[in-house]
Amino acid sequence: MISLIVKCLFGAAAVVAIALLSRSKSFFIAGLVPLFPTFSLVAHVVVGTERSAKDLQVTALFGLYSLAPYILYLLTVYLLCTRFPLAATLTLATLVWVVAAGILLVIWTRFYSGVL
């Protein structure tokens, strides 16, 4: 139960940091906060304590590959934010992320999960 509360506090702290930074002169730093490895740290602690070092290595490698959908999301936001309203831009960017993440999962499970 304590572990769950700590995870919630990390998430809440990230939301507060984003909200405060978005109102500052350095508003662009709000885009860096979600990249702080809060949830990666949690995932790596869980995998690292419950599974082997090799499994943690595979988790880290998959994390590197998972940057591709995020890059596509950000690229979509960048390209569409001056052409579409905010809601449409974020909806389309999220859809791009979902499709890219789905493709990543299909490729990973077909070609990499059995090899590693």
What pTM was estimated for this model as a whole? 0.78
Q: Is the confidence at residue 114, as pLDDT, over 80? A: no
Contact criterion met (CB below 8 Å) for 70 and 94: no
Q: Are residues 58 and 115 in the same domain?
A: yes
pLDDT at 3 over 80: no
- Residue 108 belongs to some domain of the structure: yes
Whether 28 and 73 map to the same domain: the answer is no
Check residue 23 and report its DSSP letter.
T
> How many folded domains does the chain comprise?
2
The band of 36, judged by pLDDT with boundaries at 50, 70 and 90, is confident
Confidence of residue 73 (pLDDT cuts 50, 70, 90): very high
> Phi and psi for 107 in degrees, rounded to 5?
-65, -45
Q: Which two tokens stand for residue 10?
A: 């990390």
C-alpha dihedral, 112 to 98 to 33 to 40, nearest 10°: -30
Dist. CA 40–CA 46, nearest whole Å? 10
Residue 57 shares a structural domain with residue 113 = yes
